[in-house]
Amino acid sequence: MGVGRLVDRHPHLGAEELAGRFRPPRRFDAVRFDTFLPNPDHPSQAAALAEMEGLVAEVVAASAPARRRWGRSRSESDVTAPGRYLDGGFGVGKTHLLAAAWHAAPGPKAYLTFAELTAVIGFLGMERAVAAFSGYRLLCLDEFELDDVANTLMTVTFLRSVVPAGVRVAATSNSLPDRLGEGRFSADDFKREIAAIAGWFDVVRMDGPDFRATGRPVTTLGLTPEAADALLASSATATDDGFAELLAHLETVHPVQYGALLDGLDIVIVRDIHSIRDQNAALRWVELVDELYDADLTFGVTGCDVVELFDPGFRHGGYRKKYGRCESRLAAMLGEATSPPPAPSDHFPVRP
């Protein structure tokens, strides 16, 4: 293949192809309940493990013969028990448990990030999205965050349709359900809708340190140009892009296709990253970083420090948790790119 460029990729996956991607990404493909090692200093992690195992047991008990994923919704009434809502800081194991639940549950089932869900609804349209997802027994949503007015209304409409159809929902978030949208909406905006969503979940709190800051060295500094060149020379399945050109390209690609931008790659290099002043461009970058992290590929950048990437005003606004997660994941990936993997004798208290 040689070294290519992300800006030369223009994925156009159809509905069935997108459905085939509704599973945990490569970084979480091997995680299971028994590979989650709760931190003994934080009992909430063991309690969260038990809650998610309990959710899977409920899915098993309620399972009916599988049906075609993309047909009409089931005709029977199947009002389910509450889903599970894993609330906690960055890197405490929420995504590990969410992916483990997906692996343990019987199908049909779907796993995707909240950003991917809203993108899929926008791509398919509400009626077709409801018909498609009503056929699943378990819907796993990573990084649930109602930080946009339109997404709030869309998500409420969607969940009100699929939950009564028998779909149990498991979600991870850095915000409690009744505080979703905090910093974006006034106290009275969408209060009824937020309360409705909160009532569909049992909240499971997870405490502990960010494993990305303790499991292996992390860095907020990018690579030297020479180090980036050396990484590219080590693989035939790599891309090499300039930051400004890549940001412009992301504006032309539907977010639901961002994951497909990375298909078949082992190494991605982005040159000359710099502070982003436009919030729409910053949010598109955040979505790409989530896909890069999930894809578990080698990622390196040259340019400014990670903590200089976002305008300070962005990191104190309504999207602050998105930017915080992005900075945490960028620092972890840069650490992975510049240091060898941990020795077999080393292990993380949790491996989200």
Range 31-208: architecture per CATH: 3-Layer(aba) Sandwich (3.40)
- Give residue limits of the domains in the chain: 2-13+212-338, 31-208
Q: What is the torsion angle, in degrees rounded to the nearest 10, for the CA atoms of residue 99, residue 102, residue 105 and residue 108?
A: -170
pLDDT value of position 72: 44
pLDDT value of position 316: 76
The stretch 238-263 carries a mean pLDDT of 94
Residue whose tokens read 């959710």:
55
Confidence tier at 191 by pLDDT (50, 70, 90): low
Whether the model pTM is above 0.85 = no
pLDDT value of position 244: 97
The mean pLDDT value of the chain amounts to 82
Is residue 90 within 8 A of residue 210, CB to CB? The reply is yes
Cα of 105 vs its chain's centroid, Å: 19
Confidence tier at 218 by pLDDT (50, 70, 90): low
Ramachandran angles phi, psi of 111, nearest 5°:
-135, 125
pLDDT in tens, 75-106: 333 444 678 989 888 778 999 999 999 999 99
Total number of residues shown for the chain = 352
pLDDT in tens, 251-288: 999 888 999 999 999 999 999 999 999 999 999 999 99
pLDDT value of position 76: 37
Task: Report how far residue 131's alpha carbon sits from residue 10's, in angstroms, rounded to the nearest whole number.
Answer: 28
